[in-house]
Structure 1
């Protein structure tokens, strides 16, 4: 070995020198680099540069620097800085690893090709001053006024060499940016950029695939930077970028926001002679969106946009959108979440999808928006207090135009449909709509709203687990509706409203209230604060004044209302025992035009109601619904209504049980100038009443001039039918007017009048009838018939009276319910007649006795007129006998004994012939 060295001295020297260079060069280079960095940074306060290691591989083109740190002197330290003091100072910036890999062969083609740059474990503090100058550890990275000479020189130096960069890798990088005493921080765990630049004749290409905290961020860009009109064309893909990774760059706000961004878009950004242009198409998804600003909280599972976006600046700024927007599981809580009580907090949950074709133009102070598309809302759920709303589906399709300059104008045209809308409160369903649609909907600044062809199907109101619901509509349709507001006046115009099929339930509880209405009102949200009496009075006064003003300013009309098809009405009255249950069927209801501007105009109507398979009611005429007491004209027919079902009502109200009966009627009703004049013809078939409550029936009797049973019995014909005319008249303006009293009075007069007419006819030529208190309605009175006359002091029937009693027997035979009461019977004239008859009899007896005596005694005797008086018992005995004579004769003719009632005889003060009074 030694001999070889001696024989090859120059070669040995070269090897030794090269080896020494390899050993010494890194140390020399390390010191040189440290000194160069220190010389550059020392004017900016850097006092020391530490460099752990530097490694250069000239063959592979790799330069690696480990743990480069810059130290700055603090003002509290002494000017003479020792090594001990310096090492005790924390470095203001540190680069753990900086590695650059150059492609040496590309230098021959005047290309500086950096294959990779790797930076790890680095702290980089940046500062930005008010002049927008950027500093790294007080070292300026930008100049306030760059020198044109230096700029040109730098350009010349760079001319001829093309710079290329392929891959950048960042690991554990901490960045901070301080501006106006506020610092934002960003920590990058890992970031990898590859294929950053590739040479092209026409454009540069920038490609990178990065990961930011495991989130993908990829781009492929064409950079047309040196053309007359620079342009960037490319694609951008992101996946899983979280807003929380950038929260430190955003100043602290009064709200919290979190989201995850995913994109896959293609775009073109161009600076043209018409300004900036941007075109973008593709997908943009934002997931797991959460927004909180007390007291509001919103969550959105996913926001998705797929479509085109176009922006241009000239001739005016214009934005065009054409695509599809989706919002999945939107959850909005406007009043925030309350841990203690969430039931009273408003909330909203929905899935929203929209097809958007919009153009937005910005011209100075003017904004114009034109939009057309579809809006679909599914599974909409909302709540407030205990009130819950659920909408399965809502669709809107149409156009929107909005202009904003000095004022905002807005108009929209489209069609609307919804499916399964339900509003509930606990166990009560306030409303439930199966489906609804509007074929044409127009809106203009909320001052003008019009709809055409509105349809609502399967609608239910006020339903709970115990009640079937107040109203259920099978189908409701409205051909048109218009709402217009002019100044302070509001106009509502409805077209033809048609209801096809309905079901109505009305249950009257024991307190006389409608259960279904109570159910609806109790389910509505209640105000927590109860107003004081003073506040309530003020509120009522304001409300009254407001209602008056609104009434004056509100004008409305409806062209017609038509109800047809199967429309049962179920009535239950729980005030009766057992409860009264009745099912009616509204077969037809037609109403003509109603207009608030012309309240005195008549509205035609046609009504048909079916009570059961055997009975129905029909009515037609006209009335003024907005002034119902002013005018009413109607012709009504009722056919075959069974009265048996009304028996529970009559039992409780008037004390009568209806054993049988059927009612038909023809009613002619006229109201003019608040004066009612009704002519009613009633047909009662086989009516049979039975009093089951004497107190109530007696109260009813007080309203009639004759007993009810008597009047009805007198009116019945041989077939037990009654034909009754019932006129009703009255002044509706009278404060004492009560329709119930008016009908009662009319019925009493009708009974008395009809009975009088019947008896006059039935008892002719003995029809001299006196109806005591015929028109006095304060108490019930009997019907007093012509008395049975007797000769003075006699108890025998004359032929005339026998004929009269024959007529009475016919009456009793035809009216089995009638009872004749026999009262009175004698007077003082009868007393005198009996006295004269007694005296005469006594004289005749004396004369007979004298005629039978001896002649010797006969001549000496005289006839003496006796002093005879008739006592009351003797006189009353004549009265009793007369009553018996009448009853015997009627029984002989065939009358029933129970129909003739004998009362206690009384002595009348009359002086005419004796009479037995007959009353029914």
Structure 2
């Protein structure tokens, strides 16, 4: 029987189960792929922060895209048990999978926003928001990892980084920070950096490149920084007292390896700065502006321009200050301790003021070109050395009581500071020097002044000052502020080969004075300008040796001496002109040596000459000399005769030959005198000479006269200088001879064809004398006008025809006519003082009368000068009388021509 076979059934149940499982896995994989990475990332970040010590950590959002390599974290907050907090508003980054195969973590893009990080030092390590950085503590150093990491782009925005290291507090407010191309596995790879933000409130913009993993961190950056307070950083670096605000726009290049080399090129400004130096020294400035290149390599090197305002330096006894400084430096360097500064270039300054070892040098303006070396160390032996050219304006140099001022100076050579010795300043120099407007003061005394001075071959040192040559113009000396004008002036002065020692010894090979004017004013106190030369504070009779004075040659040409003596009853005025003097071998170290001299001069129309030798430095000065005087008018010396003898010299001229020796205070000499036309005013009967004489003085003089109205005397002189003995036996013999010959008077008979010129005048003794017609003058004037010149032509013609005629020229001032003119010329201040006090009125009246006498004297001199110069009359025939004042109101200002 055939039984049917049952067909096989298919296996569908396992397949269905596989499909169901796949579907379930797919259903689970999709949400897991979408949500598990985010949860895992958030969990991992929270777990990681907790393991780092952040006990409280939270993340609002976390997104991880494994396929794209994207990570985003939002609202991350963390806090430690120490109370430190960490907050980042957002983190975005992209990474690459492929580099992981090469054990490298490559972040394509990292973005951080609103992060706040506190980086603080903890002993030898650092903490971030209170948590130690790995490998930064005192434990074992972190093991080197064979993994590398790189960042294509890192961006940090609106974040704050706080750095705390001891007293240092730095707050970096980051507006935007970009770091690109960081590769830890390639140390030579350049990473770029840009930062915009603020450092401790100072705006900063930084862009550059660096090698963060090189053995020496080298970098290049363009930095724009404005107003950064440097004090916190200086204090952190151990520079206590350093302060100032830093503004810069520079390109920086550096290598922060072992030597920490760095260079900057651009503009750097340091405002309100103070830089401390060793030994309590300091450099201060309101502003320092540098434009150029700076390089630091165990010291500073620079080239560029520097401008400073209110600059000052102080170190020990040295100080420098200036209101404004501008320097162009071709080369400059400073050591690592900021104590030694060297530079080449030019410098200009205003208000320059330098002090060192008691010497102070000020310049209103200063310009310098050359090489300079400064050593600001407290232990430095030399503060500065320099070589170049300096131009100064309104220069003042002060050393003790001495003050040297100059309107303009030009100096070129080598200069250095040295420790002082003796009287010399602490300077060493070899230079040429030109000075305009020079003055040298000691207290209120002006020793020297010159419009121009040119010094060649000047060498200064604490051992000596030497000078090859000095040429000066418009020189004056010996003045006292508000007391008297310079006693000596000279048109030009030339000095050769000068040397000054620290003890004040002065040696000069040659000294020449051209057109000098010496003013000698004498009163009851002595010679003004000379009697107060001695230091009142100097010990009297001290044993201290005087400094040596040595002068090889002295030459004076075209000199003038104005002598005024107010110690007499009537003032004496003598003017010496055309003075020529030559002296040699003047040396105070050898007082016994002769100093030879020759002298020539004129007093009005009179001639003086002398020659011989002097010994000025002996205890009692010595002399061996011969001299000659020709045609000296005696009335100008009448006040001396009046005070000594009680007589006034009315007319007279002196011719003299003098030979005199003075040795150890002993006189030995001879006076050969010729007195021509000597007459005297009516003497006072009580005068010393009148009392001693046995006959009237006029009779004595008449007995001495010869037939030409001359008195010739030969008087030997011997004895002590304080009490000389004059041998007058020759005069006595001459007087006796004159009496025996009965030649009391010699009558001069001359026929005058010009009768209109002859008349009678009253002389000083109120006696009528024969005279020519007087020469009249305008009120208050001593100038010879054209009408007076015509009269003088006639008189000179008469004198030329008759050699025997001699004239006495007697100047007369009239109170009523000349007085008002002179009084109007009196200063308003003097008249006002006279109105206020009797004493001033008396003084003004005496001054006014003295001026009348001088006017009368000037008129006689003017007439004599005209007759000699224009008329060709021998001055030996013309005699000036003692000036006279006529109080008659109707009298005329004039010069009487007495026969």
Matched, 1:670 2:687: no
Q: How far apart are residue 295 of structure 1 and its match?
A: 12
Greater per-residue helix proportion: 1
CA distance in 2, matches of 1:50, 1:70: 9
User: What residue is the counterpart of 2:539 in the other structure?
Assistant: 540
The equivalent residue for 1:289 is 311
Determine the structure 2 residue equivalent to 1:770.
none
**1:587 equivalent in structure 2:** 579
Separation of aligned partners in 2, 1:170 and 1:477: 79
Structure 2 residue corresponding to 1:654, chosen from 640, 645, 663: 645
Question: How is 1:726-737 mapped onto 2 (pairs within 5 angstroms)?
Answer: 726-732=715-721, 737=722
1:671-716: CA deviations, max 9, x gaps?
2454311111111111111245443x2x245667876444322111
User: Cα offset for 1:257?
Assistant: 4.0
Q: CA deviation at 1:637?
A: 0.8
CA distance in 2, matches of 1:185, 1:513: 80
SS where residue 659 of structure 2 aligns? strand
Confirm or deny that 1:496 pairs with 2:496: no
Q: Would the aligned equivalents of 2:283 and 2:311 in 1 still touch at CA under 8 Å?
A: no
Say if 1:205 and 1:220, in contact at 8 Å, map to a contact too: no
Does the alignment pair 1:439 with 2:456? yes
Q: Following the alignment from structure 1 to structure 2, what is the Cα–Cα distance between the partners of residues 683 and 66?
A: 129
Q: Calculate the aligned-residue CA RMSD, in Å.
A: 6.0
- Partner SS, residue 486 of structure 2: coil
Q: 1:618 aligns with which of 576, 585, 609?
A: 609
SS in 1 for 2:706: coil
Query: Structure 2 vs 1, CA of residues 701 and 761 (structure 1 numbering), >3 Å: closer, same or farther?
Result: closer
Q: 1:116 to 1:326 in 2, by over 3 A?
A: farther
Taking the aligned partners of 1:169 and 1:648, their CA distance within structure 2 comes to 105
2:163–2:169 contact (8 Å) kept in structure 1: no
Residue of structure 2 equivalent to 1:236? 265
Are the counterparts in 1 of residues 346 and 369 from structure 2 also a CA contact under 8 Å?
yes
Deviation at 1:349, TM superposition (A): 5.7
For residue 322 of structure 1, give the secondary structure of its aligned residue in structure 2: strand
SS class of match (2:270): strand
Q: Report deviation, 1:653.
A: 4.3
Deviations 1:322-346 (A, max 9, x none): 222333223579999xxxxxxxxx9
Q: What secondary structure sits across from 2:637 in the alignment? A: helix
2:71 and 2:542 map into 1 onto residues whose CA distance is: 91
Q: Which residue of 2 aligns with 1:209?
A: 223
| Residue equivalent to 1:636 | 627
1:259 is displaced (CA, Å) by 3.1
Q: Distance in 1 between matches of 2:526 and 2:63?
A: 98
- Cα pair distance change 1:103/1:650, threshold 3 Å: farther
Quote the Cα distance in structure 1 between the aligned partners of 2:157 and 2:556: 78
User: Displacement of 1:293 after TM fit?
Assistant: 10
Structure 1 position 32, deviation (Å): 7.2
Map 1:66-105 → 2, pairs under 5 A? 73=82
Rounded to whole Å, the distance in 2 between the matches of 1:501 and 1:66 is 99
Deviation string for 1:282-314 (max 9, x for gaps)? Answer: 12333233579999997532333322446699x
Q: C-alpha displacement at 1:587, in angstroms?
A: 1.7
Cα displacement (A) at 1:219: 2.7
Unaligned runs of 5+ in 2: 1-23, 173-198, 229-245, 420-425, 750-899
Contact 1:172 1:188 in 2 (8 A): no
Give the 3-state SS of the residue equivalent to 1:722 in structure 2.
Answer: strand
2:346 paired residue number: 324
For the pair shown, which has the larger CA radius of gyration, 1 or 2? 1
Cα contact 2:455–2:469 (8 A) shared by 1: yes
Q: Aligned to 2:209, what secondary structure does the other structure show? A: coil
The corresponding residue for 2:676 is 685
1:195 aligns to what? 207
For residues 824-839 of structure 1, the aligned pairs below 5 Å read none
Distance 1:216 1:814, change over 3 A: same
Cα distance in structure 2, aligned partners of 1:383 and 1:360 = 22
Contact 2:53 2:80 in 1 (8 A): no
Residue 478 of structure 1 pairs with residue 492 of structure 2: no
- Pick closer, same or farther for the CA change 1:757–1:353 going to 2, 3 Å: closer
Tell me the residue number matched to 2:388.
Answer: 373
Q: Distance in 1 between matches of 2:480 and 2:713?
A: 44
Mapping 1:453-602, distance limit 5 Å: 453-461=469-477, 462=479, 467-483=484-500, 492-509=506-523, 511-516=524-529, 540=539, 544-545=542-543, 547=544, 550-551=545-546, 555-565=548-558, 567-576=559-568, 579-585=571-577, 587-602=579-594
Report the CA distance shift for 1:431/1:597 in structure 2 as closer, same or farther (over 3 A).
Answer: closer
CA contact (8 A) 1:656 1:691 kept: yes
Distance 1:660 1:459 in 2: 39
Q: Deviations over 1:425-483 (max 9, x none)?
A: 99986753322232112235x12332111223223331667854222232222111224
8 Å contact kept, 2:267–2:292 = no
CA distance in 1, matches of 2:600, 2:644: 28
Q: Closer, same or farther in 2 for the Cα pair 1:117/1:335, shift >3 Å?
A: farther
Partner-residue secondary structure (3-state), 1:213? strand
Partner Cα separation in structure 2 for residue 425 and residue 700 of structure 1? 48
Partner of 2:710: 721
Residues 126 and 136 in structure 2, CA contact (< 8 A), matched pair in contact too:
no
> Residues 310 and 63 from structure 1, CA distance in 2 versus in 1: closer, same or farther, beyond 3 angstroms?
farther
For residues 296 and 410 of structure 1, the distance between their equivalents in structure 2, rounded to whole angstroms, comes to 13
Q: Quick check: 1:756 aligned with 2:733?
A: yes
Contact 2:654–2:675, Cα closer than 8 Å, also in 1: yes
Task: Give the whole-Å Cα distance in 2 for the aligned partners of 1:161 and 1:479.
Answer: 82
Paired residue secondary structure (2:731)? helix
Number of the residue aligned with 1:260: 287
Greater displacement, 196-205 / 366-375 = 196-205
Deviations 1:479-514 (A, max 9, x none): 1122457xxx886432111112222323334x3344
Kept in 1, the 8 Å contact 2:365–2:392? The answer is yes
Displacement after TM superposition at 1:645 (Å)? 1.7
Identify if the C-alpha distance between structure 1 residues 557 and 164 changes in structure 2 by more than 3 Å, giving closer, same or farther: farther
Secondary structure of the structure 2 residue equivalent to 1:373 = strand
Q: What is the rounded CA distance, in whole Å, between the counterparts of 2:504 and 2:33 in structure 1?
A: 103
Whole-angstrom CA distance in 2 between matches of 1:60 and 1:66: 21
Deviation at 1:189, TM superposition (A): 1.2
Cα displacement string for residues 151-178 of structure 1 (whole angstroms, at most 9, x for unaligned residues): 743xx545x748889x999999876642
Instruction: Name the CA distance, whole Å, in 1 between partners of 2:62 and 2:396.
Output: 66
Q: From the superposition, tell whether residues 561 and 727 of structure 1 become closer, same or farther in structure 2 (CA, over 3 Å).
A: same
Aligned to 1:891: none
The alpha-carbon distance between structure 1 residues 711 and 208, as it changes in their structure 2 partners (threshold 3 A), is same
Aligned to 1:711: 700
Residue number among 581, 587, 601 corresponding to 1:609 in the alignment: 601
* Structure 1 Cα separation of the partners of residues 159 and 635 of structure 2: 96
Quote the offset at 1:126 in angstroms.
Answer: 5.0
CA contact (8 A) 1:378 1:393 kept: yes
Asked whether the 8 Å contact 1:207–1:218 carries over to 2, the reply is no
Taking the aligned partners of 2:649 and 2:352, their CA distance within structure 1 comes to: 64
Separation in structure 2 between the aligned mates of residue 141 and residue 730 of structure 1, nearest angstrom: 111
**In structure 2, what is the Cα distance between the partners aligned to 1:292 and 1:13?**
83
CA distance in 2, matches of 1:578, 1:184: 90
Q: With structure 1 as the length reference, what TM-score do the two structures score?
A: 0.57
Please state which structure has a larger fraction of its residues in strand: 2
* 2:430 is equivalent to residue 413 of structure 1: yes
